[in-house]
Amino acid sequence: VHVEGLAFDIVKQLFDISLRYYPESCIHVYTLDELYMWNVNQDEKDYLQPRGVEWTELQEPNIDFLKDTPITKIIINVNDMDKRLAFNEIARKEIGDKFKTTYSSGRYIEFNNISTDKGTGMLKLAEMLGIKPEETIAIGDNSNDLPMIEAAGVGVAVRNANEQVLSKADYICKRDNN
Protein backbone atom coordinates (compact mmCIF):
# COMPACT_ATOMS: atom_id res chain seq x y z
CA VAL A 1 0.00 0.00 0.00
CA HIS A 2 2.57 2.56 1.16
CA VAL A 3 6.00 2.11 2.74
CA GLU A 4 8.34 4.53 4.47
CA GLY A 5 11.07 2.41 5.95
CA LEU A 6 14.19 3.11 7.92
CA ALA A 7 17.48 3.96 6.25
CA PHE A 8 19.93 1.05 6.42
CA ASP A 9 22.56 3.11 8.26
CA ILE A 10 20.08 3.83 11.08
CA VAL A 11 19.07 0.16 11.31
CA LYS A 12 22.72 -0.89 11.34
CA GLN A 13 23.52 1.57 14.15
CA LEU A 14 20.52 0.38 16.21
CA PHE A 15 21.55 -3.25 15.62
CA ASP A 16 25.10 -2.47 16.76
CA ILE A 17 23.91 -0.55 19.85
CA SER A 18 21.86 -3.57 20.84
CA LEU A 19 24.87 -5.86 20.44
CA ARG A 20 27.02 -3.56 22.59
CA TYR A 21 24.62 -2.71 25.41
CA TYR A 22 22.13 -5.60 25.42
CA PRO A 23 23.97 -8.59 23.90
CA GLU A 24 21.46 -11.04 25.40
CA SER A 25 18.56 -9.45 23.51
CA CYS A 26 16.83 -10.87 20.48
CA ILE A 27 16.86 -8.46 17.52
CA HIS A 28 14.14 -8.43 14.83
CA VAL A 29 14.78 -6.76 11.46
CA TYR A 30 11.69 -6.50 9.25
CA THR A 31 11.79 -6.11 5.48
CA LEU A 32 8.71 -5.89 3.27
CA ASP A 33 8.27 -9.66 3.22
CA GLU A 34 10.73 -11.22 5.65
CA LEU A 35 11.66 -11.13 9.31
CA TYR A 36 15.31 -11.72 10.17
CA MET A 37 16.21 -12.41 13.80
CA TRP A 38 19.44 -12.56 15.73
CA ASN A 39 19.88 -14.30 19.09
CA VAL A 40 16.53 -16.08 19.15
CA ASN A 41 16.14 -17.57 22.61
CA GLN A 42 13.54 -20.06 23.80
CA ASP A 43 11.44 -17.35 25.47
CA GLU A 44 11.17 -15.51 22.17
CA LYS A 45 10.28 -18.70 20.30
CA ASP A 46 7.62 -19.51 22.90
CA TYR A 47 6.16 -16.02 22.46
CA LEU A 48 6.19 -15.88 18.65
CA GLN A 49 5.39 -19.42 17.51
CA PRO A 50 1.81 -19.54 18.89
CA ARG A 51 1.20 -16.27 17.04
CA GLY A 52 2.17 -17.86 13.72
CA VAL A 53 5.22 -15.65 13.22
CA GLU A 54 7.81 -17.02 10.79
CA TRP A 55 11.39 -15.80 10.64
CA THR A 56 14.84 -16.44 9.27
CA GLU A 57 17.40 -16.86 12.02
CA LEU A 58 20.68 -15.06 11.38
CA GLN A 59 23.72 -17.27 11.87
CA GLU A 60 25.96 -14.34 12.75
CA PRO A 61 25.29 -10.81 14.07
CA ASN A 62 25.58 -9.14 10.68
CA ILE A 63 22.89 -7.46 8.58
CA ASP A 64 25.11 -6.03 5.82
CA PHE A 65 23.38 -8.32 3.31
CA LEU A 66 20.25 -6.14 3.78
CA LYS A 67 21.99 -2.93 2.70
CA ASP A 68 19.99 -2.65 -0.54
CA THR A 69 16.74 -4.08 0.86
CA PRO A 70 13.95 -1.82 2.14
CA ILE A 71 13.71 -2.25 5.92
CA THR A 72 10.42 -1.35 7.55
CA LYS A 73 11.47 -1.49 11.22
CA ILE A 74 13.79 -2.95 13.81
CA ILE A 75 12.57 -4.32 17.14
CA ILE A 76 14.68 -5.30 20.13
CA ASN A 77 13.43 -7.64 22.85
CA VAL A 78 14.36 -5.97 26.13
CA ASN A 79 12.07 -7.32 28.84
CA ASP A 80 12.68 -4.54 31.38
CA MET A 81 10.98 -1.17 30.73
CA ASP A 82 13.78 0.82 32.40
CA LYS A 83 16.27 -0.85 30.06
CA ARG A 84 14.04 -0.09 27.04
CA LEU A 85 13.94 3.57 28.06
CA ALA A 86 17.72 3.58 28.56
CA PHE A 87 18.18 1.95 25.14
CA ASN A 88 16.16 4.75 23.56
CA GLU A 89 18.29 7.39 25.31
CA ILE A 90 21.53 5.73 24.16
CA ALA A 91 20.23 5.44 20.59
CA ARG A 92 19.19 9.10 20.47
CA LYS A 93 22.57 10.22 21.82
CA GLU A 94 24.45 8.15 19.24
CA ILE A 95 22.15 8.58 16.23
CA GLY A 96 20.02 11.66 16.92
CA ASP A 97 16.28 12.06 16.42
CA LYS A 98 16.16 10.16 13.12
CA PHE A 99 13.58 7.55 14.12
CA LYS A 100 10.32 7.07 15.98
CA THR A 101 10.30 4.88 19.09
CA THR A 102 7.40 2.90 20.51
CA TYR A 103 7.07 0.08 22.99
CA SER A 104 4.91 -3.03 22.70
CA SER A 105 3.91 -6.32 24.29
CA GLY A 106 5.71 -5.54 27.53
CA ARG A 107 8.92 -6.77 25.90
CA TYR A 108 9.85 -4.75 22.82
CA ILE A 109 11.32 -1.42 21.87
CA GLU A 110 10.38 -0.65 18.26
CA PHE A 111 12.14 1.75 15.90
CA ASN A 112 10.35 3.07 12.81
CA ASN A 113 10.72 5.81 10.23
CA ILE A 114 10.33 9.22 11.87
CA SER A 115 7.17 9.95 9.84
CA THR A 116 5.57 6.51 10.16
CA ASP A 117 3.18 5.10 12.71
CA LYS A 118 -0.04 3.09 12.76
CA GLY A 119 -2.10 6.29 12.68
CA THR A 120 -0.57 7.59 9.44
CA GLY A 121 -0.84 4.10 7.95
CA MET A 122 -4.51 3.81 8.86
CA LEU A 123 -5.30 7.27 7.46
CA LYS A 124 -3.41 6.51 4.23
CA LEU A 125 -5.36 3.27 3.78
CA ALA A 126 -8.66 5.01 4.55
CA GLU A 127 -7.86 7.67 1.95
CA MET A 128 -7.05 5.02 -0.66
CA LEU A 129 -10.36 3.28 0.09
CA GLY A 130 -12.35 6.52 0.06
CA ILE A 131 -13.18 6.32 3.77
CA LYS A 132 -13.32 9.52 5.82
CA PRO A 133 -11.09 9.54 8.93
CA GLU A 134 -14.12 10.06 11.15
CA GLU A 135 -15.58 6.80 9.77
CA THR A 136 -12.64 4.69 10.94
CA ILE A 137 -12.27 2.51 14.03
CA ALA A 138 -8.95 1.46 15.54
CA ILE A 139 -8.38 -1.09 18.29
CA GLY A 140 -5.19 -1.41 20.31
CA ASP A 141 -3.47 -2.11 23.59
CA ASN A 142 0.05 -0.61 23.58
CA SER A 143 1.88 2.65 22.93
CA ASN A 144 2.59 1.63 19.34
CA ASP A 145 -1.22 1.68 18.80
CA LEU A 146 -1.72 5.14 20.32
CA PRO A 147 -1.32 7.22 17.11
CA MET A 148 -3.87 4.97 15.39
CA ILE A 149 -6.35 5.21 18.27
CA GLU A 150 -5.98 9.01 18.33
CA ALA A 151 -6.36 9.32 14.53
CA ALA A 152 -9.43 7.10 14.26
CA GLY A 153 -12.99 8.31 14.31
CA VAL A 154 -13.49 5.87 17.18
CA GLY A 155 -10.48 4.72 19.18
CA VAL A 156 -10.94 1.48 21.09
CA ALA A 157 -8.76 -0.05 23.80
CA VAL A 158 -8.90 -3.67 24.85
CA ARG A 159 -9.53 -4.15 28.59
CA ASN A 160 -5.88 -4.95 29.38
CA ALA A 161 -4.40 -2.04 27.39
CA ASN A 162 -1.78 0.12 29.07
CA GLU A 163 -2.95 3.21 30.97
CA GLN A 164 -1.89 5.63 28.23
CA VAL A 165 -4.02 3.82 25.65
CA LEU A 166 -6.96 3.44 28.05
CA SER A 167 -6.92 7.19 28.75
CA LYS A 168 -7.07 8.09 25.03
CA ALA A 169 -9.67 5.54 23.93
CA ASP A 170 -13.25 6.52 23.14
CA TYR A 171 -14.38 3.03 24.11
CA ILE A 172 -12.89 0.28 26.28
CA CYS A 173 -13.75 -3.34 25.45
CA LYS A 174 -15.20 -5.56 28.14
CA ARG A 175 -12.66 -8.24 27.20
CA ASP A 176 -8.90 -8.22 26.82
CA ASN A 177 -6.82 -9.30 23.83
CA ASN A 178 -6.04 -12.72 25.27
DSSP string, 116-143: --HHHHHHHHHHHTT--GGG-EEEESSG
Q: Write down the pLDDT at residue 106.
A: 86
**Per CATH, which fold does 118-171 belong to?**
Rossmann fold (3.40.50)
3-state secondary structure of 156: strand
Cβ pair 125, 101 in contact under 8 A: no
pLDDT at 130: 96
Start-end of CATH 3.30.1240.10 domains in the chain: 8-113
Give the SS3 label for residue 24: coil
The segment(s) of the chain belonging to CATH 3.40.50.1000 are 118-171
Integer Cα distance of 178 and 176 in angstroms: 6
pLDDT at 2: 67
Give pLDDT, residue 3: 75
| 10-residue stretch averages of pLDDT, the chain, 178 residues long | 86 98 96 96 92 95 97 95 96 95 90 89 93 96 91 95 93 83
| Architecture of the domain spanning 8-113 | 2-Layer Sandwich (3.30)
For strands 35-38 and 56-57, give the pairing. Answer: parallel
